[in-house]
Amino acid sequence: MGLDNPLHVALLVILLLLVFGARRLPEIGRSLGSGMREFKDSVTGATPSLTQTTTQQQPAPPVAQPVPQPVAQPVAQPVAQPIGGQAPAQPVAAPVEPAPAPVEPAHQG
């Protein structure tokens, strides 16, 4: 009189569907499964929450990339014509300054 006969299993499933309904049956199965899992873990002494927290690692913070600075180009300034009508022999150009070096982000450690 065990559950080895397929007819007994079918009768048990029909009886469960009539008593609990099709909507509650998956919830009951999930709660029974989690209860059995907790019981097994308590008997073996394993704690899944402790092992899950130690295996998870924090993601590394993103490293800031240096932004390339535009290079200053020399610009010729317009020269006013002297009153006498003669232009100077050399055009006057603005002084050129070197571009600043890129700043590296500070390492946090």
pLDDT less than 70: residues of the chain: 1, 47-64, 74-95, 107-109
- pLDDT for res 66: 72
- What is 4-56 written as a DSSP string? TSHHHHHHHHHHHHHHH-TTHHHHHHHHHHHHHHHHHHHHHT--HHHHHHHH-
Q: What is the pLDDT of residue 78?
A: 65
| pTM score over 0.75 | no
- pLDDT per residue over 17-47, tens digit each? 899 888 888 898 899 999 999 999 988 887 6
- Tell me, what's the pLDDT at 31? 93
